[in-house]
Amino acid sequence: MKAGMIGLGAMGTPMARNLAKAGVLTAVYNRTEEKAHRLAQELAVCCAPSPEVLAQSVDVVFLCVSKDAVVLALVDAICPVLKAGSIVVDMSTVGCETAQRAAVLLAEQGVGFLDAPVSGGVEGAKNGTLSIMVGGEEKHLEHVKPLLAAMGDKIIHMGPVGAGQATKAVNQVMAAGINQAVTAALALGQAQGLPMAQVFDVVSGGAAGNWFLAHRGKTMLQGVYEPGFKLALHHKDLEICQAMAKAQGLSIDFLDQTLADYQRLMTEGYGDEDISALYRLKRPD
């Protein structure tokens, strides 16, 4: 089985490396050609000059980009040249409808589609320990499972096409709420002049303990906000989540608040910082 990776960003690059390590990667493509060229040299794989050329040469196309429109444009482009029986796996975080539209388009050509967004951050992508939330047909998942196993250690079938994206939305909404919870609570401690190392210690160990506090609390309190997970990307994901919530008739106050807070931080030039940069708006002066 030959695989190609389209989209060589912070996540796509280490994921491509793990596919190469597993011996299945034969081609890469990236909009910024230089990145693709360098990685192709490093991994001794083909640097495709276009998505179409990549698609002609492989059985499985992985997408790892950042926008719904880009996913759909790529699927439009590669659809006519893909062999029947090949599979497109979209690992981007996009909307359920995008996944469903892509699946319908590809099915007309006899091509399978899975939405397979991931969580576990850049560290997980590097170490091959991502959690992969898969929507689509069981038979397609079985077909590409050995390839997914090169990138993640938890591969969970969530249901039909779109169910992977729906699950990712649950994860991203929870992460937003926890960001609000942790930054507001630490700000209350700091405003009261508490010794924050001790606060961190005692709160982490109790019923309010959480991954985000454990992994970002200390740096946040030092005013260090290196990604991690870029704030502008979480903002993009949360816009998708907000649309999903609205479609279900759900209104989530902290989600609206987080979108507004992130927007303000992006306007102030902090979009490339970690999401813990939310503390910039919460900490006492």
Chain centroid offset of residue 104 CA: 23
CB of 161 to its own copies, least distance (A): 13
Q: Tokens representing 249?
A: 């008739």
Contact (CB, 8 A) for 158 and 166: yes
Label residues 50-60 b or e (16+ Cβ within 10 Å = b). ebbbbbeebbb
Phi-psi region of 79 (alpha: psi -120 to 50; beta: other; left: phi over 0): alpha
CB of 194 to its own copies, least distance (A): 6
Q: Considering the complex, state which of residue 222 and residue 248 has its C-beta at the smaller distance from its own copies.
A: 248
Task: Decide if 230 is catalytic.
Answer: no
Q: Considering the complex, state which of residue 79 and residue 245 has its C-beta at the smaller distance from its own copies.
A: 245
Give me the helix-helix angle, 163-191 and 253-267, nearest 10°: 70
Q: Which residues bind its own copies (CB under 8 A)?
A: 96, 119-121, 131, 133, 154, 156-159, 163, 166-167, 169-178, 180-182, 184-189, 191-195, 198-199, 201-203, 205-213, 215, 229, 241, 244-245, 248-250, 252-255, 257, 284
CB of 65 to its own copies, least distance (A): 21
Contact (CB, 8 A) for 38 and 94: no
> Which of 2, 67, 145, 168 is flagged as catalytic?
168
Q: Considering the complex, state which of residue 108 and residue 285 has its C-beta at the smaller distance from its own copies.
A: 285
Q: Considering the complex, state which of residue 73 and residue 247 has its C-beta at the smaller distance from its own copies.
A: 247
At CA 84, angle to CA 58 and CA 5, rounded to 5?
Answer: 25
Q: Considering the complex, state which of residue 10 and residue 156 has its C-beta at the smaller distance from its own copies.
A: 156
Bond from prior residue into 228 cis (ω within 30 degrees of 0):
yes
Tally of CB atoms within 10 A around 107: 13
CB of 241 to its own copies, least distance (A): 7
Tally of CB atoms within 10 A around 202: 10
CB of 123 to its own copies, least distance (A): 10
Which residues neighbour 216 within 8 Å (Cβ) at sequence distance 6 or greater?
A: 182, 228, 274, 275, 276
Contact (CB, 8 A) for 196 and 186: yes
Looking at the annotation, which residues are catalytic? 168
